[in-house]
Structure 1
C-alpha cells in the first residue's frame, strides 16, 4: 500500500481489501481465514507476592529503583477471530469488534499528524455516539487518546512519550484503583462518585487502524474467560519516590490463556477493549492486550498506524 507523505496532506489508498465478504453483523469475514500465528509476547516474570506489587517509577530520585521486575518472553498462539467475529462480546470476552463508517481523509490526516483540537472536534463526538449506541450509556466521558505509528528504526522496547510505538508488553491500562482515580479526575464536582459506580461505569478503549488492512504488528486480546486471578498483578506507577501517578495491570503467563486478533484489521472496523467495569460479578472486567509481530509480515509492509480513544462509560 502506497501512502503519501504527511507533509503532502493527502492519504494513500484506503480501498477495502477484496478478499472479504460481509457477515450477518456487518463485519467483514473471510472465506479463507488466515492460520493462527505463533508470536512472542512479553509477560511479567513469575511473581512472588512477598516482593509486594510490581512498580514503575519515572524520574526516580537518587537511591530509588525505576522498577522492581523484569519482562519474560513467551511464545503463544494467537487465534484469528475473523471467522467467528460475531461471537465476541465485551461482557463475555472483554473485547469485541464492530463495524463503523470510514473516516474522512481530513480526519485521518488530522489524527496522523497530531492535530488534537481537530480530533477532539471531529472524532470524539463520533466515538461518543458509537459508544452510546452500543452500550446504552447515558453518558460517555472521553478523557484521552493516543495515536501510534511504529518506527522501524526504534527498538520495540523503546516507547518514549511523543513517539508512541505499539505497546509490546502484555498489559491492561488501568487496575480498579487506577480506574477509580481516573473517573474521579474526569467528573465534575457536582457528581457523586459512589452513585456513578453503583449505577455501573466502565472504561473502554476504542481502537482502530488509520491505514489498513493491518498487517504490521496487529493488536492481540486475551479472552477474559481464559484468565486466572493468579495471573493478574496490579502495577503501581510512581514518580520521584512515592508520588502516586496511577496503577495499571501486568500479567504473568499461563498456558490456558487464549489470545485473538483480527486478521487484516480494516480502517472501518473498530476493536473495543474493556479496561475496567464496576459491575464485577459474572462478567469480564478487564482485557489484557498487546501488539505482536506477526511472523508472516512481509519486510516491506507499511508500518502500523492506529488510534485508541479512552472512554468512561456511565450507565
Structure 2
C-alpha cells in the first residue's frame, strides 16, 4: 500500500474537470500540482544464508518460481523532476532525457532497425561513450486488475509484467561476462579499457499514471547491500543483483513520464571507483491511481557502451 507522505490529501487526488458557470465551451480544471515525494512499496530481499534463485521457466505445480523471502518496505520516493539539480548518470546513476522516437509501434518488426540505433545514439550522448551495442530489449505491461507486484515473470506464456522486486540487471560477474558475449571477439574485448551497461526505459502507452519505475541513487547503495542471484532460463543461467534494505537508500522517480521521454540508468561500469556502477530499481504503484488510468506499458533496452 502506498501513500503520499505528509501532504494534504487534496494534492494527490485526481482533479475533476469543471466548466465556467453557464459556459458551453470546453471543460477547465486546475493545473495539476506535483508533490515532492510519495511513499511506495518496493520488494527487497529478506536476509538468508542460501543463494537466491529465480526460475524463468515453468517450474511445475508446487514449486516456487523464487526460492527466497521478500522484505516489502514502504519507502519515500522523491519526484526527481523537482530536484534542485538534475541527477547525473555517472553520479546518482540515472538521467531523464527528452528523446522522441521515430518508431510509433514498438511491437513492429522494424523495432531493431529503427529503435536500436536511436538507443545507441542516446546512450553514447548521455554517458560520453564513443560507441555502443544494443543487445537486448523487453516489453512489459502492468496486469489487469493491478495485482501485487512480483518479479514480473508469470510463466505459462504470459507477457512480462512490471517488476516490483528491487534488483540490478547485472552483477559484478555477469557485467564482466557481458562484454565478451556482446563483442564475440576476444581480441576486441581485451582492447576495451572501460565500458558500461545502461538500461533505457520508456513508456509506450502514454503518460504513466499508475506504476512508474523507481531508481535508487547509486551513491546511497553499498556493495554489501547487493546479493548475487541466479536467473535460470531454459538453456542458460544468468546472474543479477537483488538488494537488502538499507535505511540510507534514496529512491527517486519521474512523475508522469510520457512516450517522448527516456530514463537512462547505469547497470554496470567496469571502472571500479569514481563513478556510479549499479543502480537498483523497481516498479511501484502510485498511491492514488485514477480510475481511468491505462495499464502501464513500457519498453526497456540494454545497451553496452565503450569509452575509447
- TM-score (ref. length: structure 1): 0.79
Partner of 2:183: 187
Question: Which of the pair is proportionally richer in helix?
Answer: 1
Q: Distance in 2 between matches of 1:310 and 1:270?
A: 13
Cα shift at 1:184: 1.6
Partner of 2:16: none
Q: Distance in 2 between matches of 1:43 and 1:69?
A: 11
Partner of 1:287: 279
Verify the 8 A CA contact 1:208 1:307 in the aligned structure 2.
yes
Total equivalences in the alignment: 273
Change (3 A) 1:154 1:188: same
Verify the 8 A CA contact 1:85 1:97 in the aligned structure 2.
no
Partner of 1:74: 73
Change (3 A) 1:280 1:150: same
Q: Distance in 1 between matches of 2:260 and 2:85?
A: 16
- Show CA shifts across 1:175-210 (max 9, x none): 1211222222121326443322xx111000111111
Cα shift at 1:281: 0.7
Matches within 5 A, 1:162-201: 162-189=158-185, 191-196=187-192, 199-201=193-195
Q: Distance in 2 between matches of 1:85 and 1:231?
A: 27
Matches within 5 A, 1:33-112: 33-45=34-46, 47-48=47-48, 51-57=49-55, 58=57, 67-84=66-83, 86-100=85-99, 102-104=100-102, 107-109=103-105, 111=106
Cα shift at 1:162: 4.9
Verify the 8 A CA contact 1:33 1:82 in the aligned structure 2.
no
Verify the 8 A CA contact 2:124 2:131 in the aligned structure 1.
yes
Cα shift at 1:86: 4.5
- TM-score (ref. length: structure 2): 0.80
Partner of 1:235: 229
Matches within 5 A, 1:137-152: 137-152=129-144
Name the Cα RMSD after superposition. Answer: 2.6
Verify the 8 A CA contact 1:202 1:312 in the aligned structure 2.
yes
Q: Distance in 2 between matches of 1:181 and 1:85?
A: 37
